[in-house]
C-alpha cells in the first residue's frame, strides 16, 4: 500500500509533513496543513494510488529482465531492427509482440 506521506504529497505536492509509524493519527504538519487535508482524503488517495499501481503491473512485467519474460535489451532490439531491415524479416516485431501477448494491457 502507498505510504501516508506519498498520499499527502499526491494531494498537495508541496505539503510538509512527517508521519510516525505510518499511523494516520501521527501526522505532523510542518506547514500547518493550510488546505485542511483530512484523514479520509488521505485514505481515499492511498486507495486510488494503489489501484493505479496495480493497474500498471503489466508495464512492470514487460520491463523485467528478458530472461524473465520482459522486452529484449535495447542493444538486442537495435540489432533485430537492423537485421529486419536488411533481411526483410519481422524478428523485432515478433519479439515485442510476444512480450505484449504474455503481459497484456488490461
**What per-residue string of b and e applies to 60-94 under the rule 16 or more CB within 10 Å gives b?**
eebeeeeeeebbbeeeebeebeeeeeeeeeebbee
pLDDT value of position 1: 67
Model confidence at 2, pLDDT cuts 50, 70, 90, reads: confident
Query: Over the stretch 3-58, which tens digit does the pLDDT of each residue have?
Result: 999 999 999 999 999 999 999 999 999 999 999 999 999 999 999 999 999 999 99
Amino acid at each position: 500500500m502507498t505510504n501516508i506521506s506519498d498520499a499527502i504529497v499526491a494531494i498537495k505536492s508541496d505539503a510538509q509533513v512527517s508521519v510516525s509509524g505510518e499511523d494516520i493519527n501521527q501526522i505532523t504538519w510542518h506547514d500547518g496543513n493550510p488546505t485542511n487535508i483530512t484523514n479520509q482524503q488521505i485514505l481515499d488517495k492511498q486507495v486510488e494510488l494503489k489501484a493505479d499501481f496495480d493497474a500498471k503491473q503489466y508495464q512492470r512485467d514487460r520491463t523485467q529482465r528478458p530472461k524473465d519474460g520482459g522486452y529484449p535489451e535495447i542493444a538486442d532490439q537495435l540489432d533485430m531492427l537492423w537485421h529486419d531491415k536488411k533481411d526483410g524479416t519481422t524478428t523485432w516485431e515478433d519479439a515485442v509482440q510476444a512480450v505484449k501477448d504474455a503481459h497484456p494491457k488490461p
